[in-house]
């Protein structure tokens, strides 16, 4: 019997992405509410369920009122403009419709969607389950481990987006998932108004972490003379890293970037007897109103099949499978869950899923460089 799979979705990042990508449509509900971003989010959710075949779905959103991170650092995201009214309306509509569908939707007090994702990964691991984190942000790279992978949504939609595991993160950034927070804290994050360590960019941070393992080890080495840091990144960069301001910036960023893992989840991932909101299949009657509101009537049969388990005449014919041994984790029945590297993976086929294996990924092609994804 295979392990359970939890799909944990970053509602804020995907809704924002759909808001800007689909704004020209200007679609609204019958009562005049903007809905184009929610429609895009729900469509992506259906596509992700088709690709990954999860046993449960949880979606997190930021608390729009309070922020513990802003309490810690008042300048957090201060450079961002006010959300347009149509975006705020759609954030509320998304929570309303997704909850009505029976999906577990969490808006944690004072916290963000990232904290829901981190808590979901911990929740699944405790239940001997696997997690696929679906987001367009990079913050969740820190969550990757043997039981958690990240489906990073990029241009082209769900099927064109890379599924990242530890091996692929090392290939792309030169660091391990455990090193990602140190890496990000030194690099900084302009989108969150977090200034990195002056003169220490992404490449230098990766070199430093490769040589010394952690930023803490690097600072300890600098306190002892800095010979290892100098050997790794040179005297000039070591001098910049050795200033009190550099250490303070790193410490602040680490504190603000840290994800909370104690957000409670209702979904039960117990093998064979799981229950609670978000467990698939959902009730068909709970799906229809949401899809009618979003004018996704042509998608409803597919959603009923994927989310509610209803089998209709339009159910797809199974396609032949291919075998891959790259970047997979084994389950107790020997099945392998393939993490595809991106839109140009060798052997990538439209319609292939997380549980549907690909052709071997070790075959090289002219399009195998995935660094452009970042």
Q: Which of 157, 133, 159 is nearest to 144 (CA)?
A: 133
Hey, what are 10's tokens? 């970053």
Strand partners, 104: 58
pLDDT at 275 (0 to 100): 66
In the CATH scheme, what is the homologous superfamily, with its name and number, of domain 177-257?
5' to 3' exonuclease, C-terminal subdomain (1.10.150.20)
Rounded distance, CA 101 to CA 39, Å? 14
* Contact (CB, 8 A) for 61 and 93: no
Q: At what angle do helices 215-223 and 202-212 cross, to 10 degrees?
A: 80
Residues 38, 105: contact at Cβ < 8 Å?
Answer: no
Cα Rg of the chain (Å, integer): 22
Domain boundaries defined on the chain: 5-166+260-307, 177-257
List pLDDT tens digits, range 151-208.
999 988 999 999 999 999 999 999 999 999 999 999 999 999 999 999 999 999 999 9
In terms of C-beta density within 10 A (0-12 exposed, 13-18 middle, 19 or more buried), how is residue 67 classed?
A: middle
| CA–CA gap between residue 163 and residue 325 (Å, rounded) | 15
pLDDT at 156: 87
45 burial (CB, 10 Å; 0-12 / 13-18 / 19+) is buried
E runs forming strands in the chain:
5-10, 56-60, 104-106, 130-135, 148-152, 163-164, 188-189, 194-195, 328-330, 336-338
Sole residue written with tokens 């306190």: 223
Q: Answer positive or negative: Cα dihedral of 205, 207, 208, 209.
A: positive
C-alpha 189/C-alpha 179 separation (Å) is: 16
- The predicted pLDDT at position 324 comes to 30
- Look up the CATH number of domain 5-166+260-307: 3.40.50.1010
The two tokens of residue 172 are 């792309």
- Tell me if 154 sits within 8 A of 343, measured CB to CB: yes
The pLDDT, as a whole number, for residue 276 is 78
Positions of the chain with pLDDT lower than 50, given as ranges: 1, 313-374
Rounded to 10°, the helix 85-100/284-293 angle is 160
pLDDT 10s digits, 66-101: 999 999 999 999 999 999 999 999 999 999 999 999
Let me know the angle formed at the C-alpha of 55 by 51 and 58, rounded to the nearest 5 degrees.
90
């Amino acid at each position: 019997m295979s392990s359970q799979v939890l799909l944990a979705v970053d509602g804020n990042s995907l809704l924002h992405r759909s808001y800007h990508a689909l704004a020209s449509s200007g679609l609204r509900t019958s009562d005049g509410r903007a809905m184009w971003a929610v429609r895009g989010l729900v469509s992506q959710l259906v596509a992700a369920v088709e690709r990954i075949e999860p046993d449960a779905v949880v979606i997190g959103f930021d608390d729009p009122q309070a922020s513990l991170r802003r309490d810690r650092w008042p300048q957090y995201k201060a450079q961002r403009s006010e959300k347009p009214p149509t975006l705020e309306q759609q954030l509320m509509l998304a929570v309303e419709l997704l909850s009505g569908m029976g999906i577990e939707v969490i808006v944690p007090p004072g916290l963000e969607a990232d904290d829901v994702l981190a808590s979901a990964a911990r929740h699944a691991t405790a239940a001997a389950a696997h997690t696929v984190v679906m987001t367009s942000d990079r913050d969740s790279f820190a969550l990757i481990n043997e039981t958690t992978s990240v489906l990073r949504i990029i241009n082209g939609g769900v099927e064109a987006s890379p599924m990242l595991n530890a091996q692929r993160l090392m290939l792309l950034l030169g660091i391990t998932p455990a090193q990602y927070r140190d890496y990000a804290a030194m690099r900084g994050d302009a989108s969150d108004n977090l200034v990195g360590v002056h003169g220490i960019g992404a490449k230098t941070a990766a070199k430093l972490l490769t040589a010394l393992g952690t930023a803490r080890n690097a600072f300890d080495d600098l306190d002892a003379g800095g010979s290892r840091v100098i050997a790794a990144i040179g005297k000039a960069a070591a001098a910049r890293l050795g200033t009190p301001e550099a250490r303070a910036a790193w410490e602040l960023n680490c504190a603000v970037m840290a994800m909370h893992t104690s957000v409670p989840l209702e979904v039960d991932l117990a093998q064979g007897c799981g229950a609670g909101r978000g467990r698939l299949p959902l009730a068909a009657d709970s799906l229809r109103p949401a899809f009618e509101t979003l004018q996704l009537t042509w998608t409803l049969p597919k959603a009923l099949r994927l989310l509610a388990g209803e089998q209709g005449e339009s159910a797809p014919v199974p396609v032949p499978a291919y075998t891959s041994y790259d970047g997979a984790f084994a389950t107790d029945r020997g099945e392998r869950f393939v993490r595809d590297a991106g839109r140009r993976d060798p052997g990538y086929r439209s319609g292939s899923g997380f549980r549907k294996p690909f052709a071997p990924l070790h075959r090289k092609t002219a399009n195998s460089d995935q660094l452009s994804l970042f």
